[in-house]
Amino acid sequence: MFKNLGVLLFIGGITTVGFGFGGTCVTSGKKDRSEKTGNDKTVFLADPETNYRNYCASCHGEKMDMFVDRNWKFGNKKEDLFKSVKFGRENEGMPAFGESLTDKEINALADYILDGIKNVDKYTSNNTPVSDVFKTEEMDIKLELVAEGMDIPWGIAFLPANEMLVTDRNGKFYKVKSDKSLQSISGVPEVLSKGQGGLMDVVLDPDFAKNKLIYLSYSKVKNEGGTVLATTAIMRAKLDGDKLSDQKDIFVAKPYSRTQHHYGSRMQFGKDGYLYFSVGERGNEKVNPQEIKGNDLGKVHRIKSDGSIPADNPFVKTAGAEASIYAYGHRNPQGMTIHPITGKIWTNEHGPRGGDEINIEEAGKNYGWPVITYGINYNGKPISNLTTKPGMVQPVHYWIPSIGPSGLAFVKGNKYKNWEGNLLSGSLRFKFLQRSVLKGNKVVKEEILFKNIGRVRDVRMAPDGFIYIAVESPGRIYKLVPLN
């Protein structure tokens, strides 16, 4: 892996950030892969795949996935690519490679790139599904409509008697009845339903059958001197039919912010009985994620069900640190789940332009944002020249291009052929469900499911053994029903 971000690379005018090029051309000893130069010297040619790997893959991805994030500035025909590679784009910061690569190599490289970028169609195709039955690598699956009539269903929790709770980011809260009808629930907190804020996740207390307690994450709002401020908060309440009672905020992230994005807000009870949840860095990456004193933002937290602090939290004895912090250095985790065997808390989170991540949360660890990242800024400029640093945790997996992950679930049981132990992530950006096949803690294969079904906001394994997904605008809940 290339570890240092270097020059801006423009191939055919595709703006991107390169990861320090891998040196000179790779040589081959085969005579029929050489040509004579004007100096009558023999130059051995590398095949285009090797040249792409050495000069381009660190930036565009081995399968050229980074091209999906680029706009062609100087043309996308073969002759355009040839000129950009051979002569460079000095004013744009790209060096010329005419002295490193022969014309024959550059022509072959241009052909290789033009053929390879067909791979981006898997992301950019806008074909709308024409059926509720989808073929996957292992089976056919029907998306059975369970509920509709919402705007942005953000979180799902399963109740007894075939019912479920669904939050809508606009501030509404529903119970989906067994007959698929929606019942509004009153008593929800006031939210700032702007930007990425609103009513977000919902989870049941581990002892819900006895105490009827639930937990809601939301964007808590206040007005300070005429300025509207908001933050991530966790409310505990008792569910009684179609209303909430005994509402209490058990966590309010500090500091409040004027921004209206990166709230985090996913929640998960661990096997230890404690509540884990994410808080985004609210767009202030230069300060919040790496600061553990007086700052809750850009972190994963761990608290007891009443909001008190577990005695073994990693920063309990660190002077000035926020005792609820479990891990830090995060950007905006919007997926969280528990590994069915190890009990570890897994998250996925939004990177910037590229570099979305899957992580395993470990007590007291620093996950690096923004000191290390595999993404770049939205304007194409680098955020950091590092992807690794001692003392900072590497992601289990990262996506280039960014898929916009939201929701996270491990597949359990035997209803889905060969899926048990796989990890599912919703994609907001490309409107699909991502299946990640794991070997240990490594992603070894991925499959795109239900392309263009809509922005997939949440994915959950239900007690009935089926997978459910929440899709945005129009807001719908689907049950994944295997057909063979």
Give the pair of three-digit tokens for residue 450.
């239900």
Residues 392, 367 contacting (CB under 8 angstroms): yes
Residues 303, 249 contacting (CB under 8 angstroms): no
Instruction: Beginning with the edge strand found earlier in the chain, give each strand of the sheet holding 153-159 in spatial order.
Output: 153-159, 163-168, 173-176, 182-184
| Maximum Cα–Cα distance across the chain | 88
DSSP 8-state code for residue 318: S
DSSP letters for 98-139: TTTS-HHHHHHHHHHHHHHGGGGHHHH--PPP--SEEE-SS-
Residue 260 to residue 253: CA distance in whole angstroms:
14
Residues 85, 104 contacting (CB under 8 angstroms): no
Contacts 24+ apart (CB under 8 A), 6-10: 6/385, 7/93, 7/94, 7/95, 8/92, 8/93, 8/94, 8/380, 9/56, 9/59, 9/94, 10/73, 10/74, 10/84, 10/89, 10/92, 10/93, 10/94
Residue 268 to residue 203: CA distance in whole angstroms:
7
DSSP letters for 174-203: EEE-TTS-EEE-B-PPP---STT-SEEEEE
Residue 278 to residue 297: CA distance in whole angstroms:
9
Total H helices, total E strands in the chain: 6, 29
DSSP 8-state code for residue 213: E
Residues 16, 9 contacting (CB under 8 angstroms): yes
- How many other C-beta atoms can be found within 10 angstroms of the C-beta atom of residue 80? 17
Give the pair of three-digit tokens for residue 461.
């394994």
Question: Looking at the DSSP assignment, which residues form a beta bridge with residue 275?
Answer: 269, 303
Is it true that the peptide bond before 370 is cis, omega within 30 degrees of 0?
yes
Instruction: Beginning with the edge strand found earlier in the chain, give each strand of the sheet holding 456-461 in spatial order.
Output: 133-135, 140-150, 475-482, 467-471, 456-461
Residues catalogued as catalytic: 262
In whole angstroms, how far apart are CA 4 and each of 23, 357, 385, 423? Answer: 13, 19, 5, 30
